[in-house]
Amino acid sequence: MKTKFIKQPASKKGFKTIIWLFIILTIVAIPSYFSTKNDIKTLAGRYNSPLSPIIMIPGSSASATRFEDLVGTINKKFDEHHSLLELTVHKNDTITYKGSIKNNDNRPFIVVGFENNKDGYSNIKQQARWFSIAFNDLMSRYKFNNFDGFGHSNGGLIWTYYLEHYFDSNDINMNRMMTVGTPYNFEERNQSKRTQMLSDFEKNKSKLPTDLTYYSIAGTKAYTDDGIVPIGSVEAGKYIFEGQINHYTLITLTGKNAQHSDMIDNPQFISLFHQYIINDKNATPPNKTDRRSVNK
């Protein structure tokens, strides 16, 4: 039996199959050629990098490692695997990177901390400039075109100063921002007494991105403050954001762990953060036209 097959020119069968192979390839090629052309046209229109990081700024006297526990808790609680990248901007404008962004992670956390992390208006201006250096470096490194922002305490002030003085919404889109215990009027309880910073913020508010959605969280115990920041000072943010940006929401957290520094461990806060920031549906819409091309 065997020898019979060896002698027989089996290639006849083989050649037929090779011809079939090329027929199948051609049949597959024609429709995929047109659908690829079409896909690339859509893609070029959307021109979207899938990366949409969540950029976080810690409060005064905290370093870039401030949110490690928060990220760990979120990854565990929601069974997600967000990567964490920590940047520290030094006094001489140089940047130190720690951690990395996993390639298939479209929602990584990027924390920007500062070597000089002192309190006070002049320091916040400095830190906003340092943040803009870090931000530009991130943009050229990772090529994202939209992001969400988070600031704890004075981190929110740095965000606001940065948005008013350095941010260019033609280049990049800020989808949502969330801050916790951000004192827009510093320690001032009385909103009629405005600090220099608050009136500066108000003066430049027209430069804030108009399509921004912002959630400001205030913590209180005994109706007045979160232990450090008076609720009136957080609430004063309305003079800056109301009517200027797309949506401005003030959320008041009370109960256990609503103190200024504990708030980011608060389970209520973590679910708000997950709901509004991580699950932000505006971040890299898969089938939506890019807003940037509409603007231009």
Indicate which single residue of 103, 122, 192, 196 sits in contact with another protein (rule: CB under 8 A). Answer: 103
First and final C-alpha spacing in the chain:
75
Asked if residue 197 lies in contact with residue 121, where contact means CB atoms within 8 angstroms, the answer is yes
Indicate which single residue of 25, 122, 193, 286 sits in contact with another protein (rule: CB under 8 A). Answer: 25
Indicate which single residue of 77, 91, 102, 256 sits in contact with another protein (rule: CB under 8 A). Answer: 102
Select from 13-21, 86-94, 176-184, 198-206 the region that touches another protein (CB under 8 A): 13-21
CB of 274 to another protein, least distance (A): 19
Indicate which single residue of 63, 100, 190, 295 sits in contact with another protein (rule: CB under 8 A). Answer: 100
Tokens standing for residue 184: 């827009």
Q: Does 20 bind another protein (CB under 8 A)?
A: yes
Asked if residue 252 lies in contact with residue 218, where contact means CB atoms within 8 angstroms, the answer is yes
Q: Does 98 bind another protein (CB under 8 A)?
A: no
The size of the interface with another protein (CB under 8 A), counted in residues, is: 35
Asked if residue 96 lies in contact with residue 119, where contact means CB atoms within 8 angstroms, the answer is no
In this structure, the dihedral spanned by the alpha carbons of residues 241, 200, 153 and 239, taken in order and rounded to 10 degrees, is -30
Q: Does 17 bind another protein (CB under 8 A)?
A: yes
User: Crossing angle of helices 121-142/196-203, nearest 10°?
Assistant: 40
Angstrom distance (rounded) from CA 170 to CA 168: 5
Indicate which single residue of 104, 122, 170, 196 sits in contact with another protein (rule: CB under 8 A). Answer: 104
Count how many Cα atoms sit within 13 Å of the Cα of residue 27 in the half-sphere of its side chain: 6
CB of 39 to another protein, least distance (A): 8
Q: Is 229 left (phi over 0), alpha (psi -120 to 50) or beta?
A: beta
Residues 6+ positions from 23 with CB-CB distance below 8 Å:
none
CB of 15 to another protein, least distance (A): 7
Asked if residue 58 lies in contact with residue 158, where contact means CB atoms within 8 angstroms, the answer is no
DSSP 293: H
* Contacts to another protein from residues 34-53, by CB under 8 A: 36-37, 39-40, 43-44, 47, 49
Nearer to another protein, 20 or 242 (CB): 20
CB of 293 to another protein, least distance (A): 11
Q: Does 9 bind another protein (CB under 8 A)?
A: yes
CA nearest neighbour of 117 among 157, 57, 61: 61
Nearer to another protein, 75 or 259 (CB): 75
Indicate which single residue of 77, 81, 98, 118 sits in contact with another protein (rule: CB under 8 A). Answer: 81
Total Cβ atoms within 10 A of residue 85: 20
Select from 27-35, 178-186, 193-201, 257-265 the region that touches another protein (CB under 8 A): 27-35
- Using CB under 8 A as the criterion, which residues of the chain lie in contact with another protein when the complex forms? 2, 5-6, 8-11, 13-15, 17-18, 20-21, 24-25, 28-29, 32-33, 36-37, 39-40, 43-44, 47, 49, 81, 100, 102-104, 142-143
